[in-house]
A = this chain, B = another copy of it.
Amino acid sequence: MHEASVGVTLLYIAAILIAAKLSSLVERFGQPAVLGEMLIGVVLGNLVLVGLPFFEPIKQSGVIKFLAELGVVILLFQVGLETNIRDMRKVGRSAFLVACVGVVLPMLLGAYVVGPLLLPDLSANAHLFLGATLTATSIGITARVFRDLGVLQTRAAQIVLGAAVIDDVLGLIILAVVSGIVTAGSVSGGDVLRITATALAFLVSAVVIGQVFAVQLGRLFARVSTGHGMKLTMALSICLISAYLAELVGLAQIVGAFAAGLVLEAVHFQPFENPRIVNDIHTATAQIEPQARVALDEVLDRYTERHIENLIEPISTIMAPIFFVLTGMNVSLTSLLDPQLLLTALGITVVALVSKIAAGFVAGNVNRWVVGWGMVPRGEVGLIFAATGLGLGVINQQIFSMMMVVIMLTTLLTPPILTVVVRRGGRDG
């Protein structure tokens, strides 16, 4: 990759940030900010078609790509922080059911129905990869929509979050099995077991052991310094290490970041209370009535350093839009110009939508449409499947482009439609 100078890269970041914020105009029309970010990304990324190539190098920049990944990692960490681990356990059964149906159905429909029907010239292995690509659930976009709409704490949202994590484990198994079938003609049961066990071990230890470890680490760090920044550094480091470990066992980094957020949600950062701010508040509020003091403490809790969420917020505000604008920029409008390819992609997209929406219907007593549509985006996880198929030579560049169109459509359709179904269902989803 050709890398621009530091100054030019800083300019690119500024351009993305300004574009993202200008795009928040969509909020005026009741749409979540993330839709605006992706749409302005599509516009900027395709300006080259009308002879304006300024934004082209942004797509090629390894630094911007990394910042985008870091942005979605921090977003999912934040979502994890805002998610209560007990609430997640409560929806565990529903999430598991939704995840299973949301993997089995698109796999079967993709590999054995829509694949042979719409792409009869392809091999059975290619159909397998098509099915596998359709099983992916990319939680970044849905999580952002739920946050933008303020419904992250609803039961439906919790089910989608849980199902997406389980989906990532299932996807890992499927990728191993399908790759094994393609390369060796069969797959070793031991390998699949090992991959599954590693992924599950990571998730279980992240939640169980992680809780103990975070407290211990917190005490160690508090002994070094209780000063400013320690709390934020500690929390963010745990997030980054967890994202790394997730990648190490084959899961998506965002699953690791989400798990870290879940763990730290339960950790109380008492040793890090900033003594200066506490002292200043005590001085200022010396004359407050006890009743008002309780109310004031709540306000301060929410808006000052005491809560790790408030420290992550400015970082997430800056970083997350980079991911969504860049996602939009990578949507190539030219690939939509081939009518044959577009038509096939539309057919497969319908299957992609229907199979995930159907999964929502096993979610139990919640707004099932919210759950179903929440599972629709394939995003970068689907891309990994398609890219693996391309790398193994099972699918060619044209089929890869077609899958890109399917992934793009599921990604772009979800924010506006999910907004409608959330609003129609009411906030208690």
CB–CB A5/B247 < 8 A: yes
How many chain copies does the complex carry? 2
A21-B218 Cα distance, complex, nearest whole Å:
12
Q: A18-B237, A21-B233, A287-B291 are in contact. List 8 more A-B contacts (CB 8 A).
A: A10-B243, A14-B236, A17-B240, A280-B302, A283-B295, A287-B289, A288-B288, A303-B305
Please list 21 pairs of residues, one from A and one from B, whose beta carbons are closer than 8 Å in the complex, sorted by A's number: A7-B243, A7-B246, A7-B247, A10-B241, A14-B241, A17-B233, A21-B224, A21-B233, A22-B224, A25-B224, A27-B225, A62-B63, A63-B66, A228-B317, A229-B318, A280-B302, A280-B303, A284-B295, A285-B288, A288-B289, A311-B314
CB–CB A17/B288 < 8 A: no
Which residues of A266-311 are within 8 A (CB) of B? 277, 280-281, 283-289, 291-292, 295-296, 298-299, 302-305, 311
* Distance of A17 from chain B, by nearest CB (Å): 5
A184-B360 Cα distance, complex, nearest whole Å:
74
Q: Does A73 contact B (CB under 8 A)?
A: yes
CB–CB A292/B287 < 8 A: yes
CB–CB B304/A284 < 8 A: no
A9 / chain B contacts, CB cutoff of 8 Å: 66
CB–CB A24/B227 < 8 A: yes
A-side binding surface: helix, strand, loop or mixed? helix
Q: Does A6 contact B (CB under 8 A)?
A: yes
CB–CB B295/A277 < 8 A: no
Q: Which of B244, B277, B292, B295 contacts A10, CB < 8 Å? A: B244
A11 / chain B contacts, CB cutoff of 8 Å: 240-241, 244
Q: Which of B224, B283, B285, B314 contacts A232, CB < 8 Å? A: B314
A228-B8 Cα distance, complex, nearest whole Å:
27
A411-B280 Cα distance, complex, nearest whole Å:
36
For residue A230, which residue of chain B has the nearest CB? B21
For residue A217, which residue of chain B has the nearest CB? B18
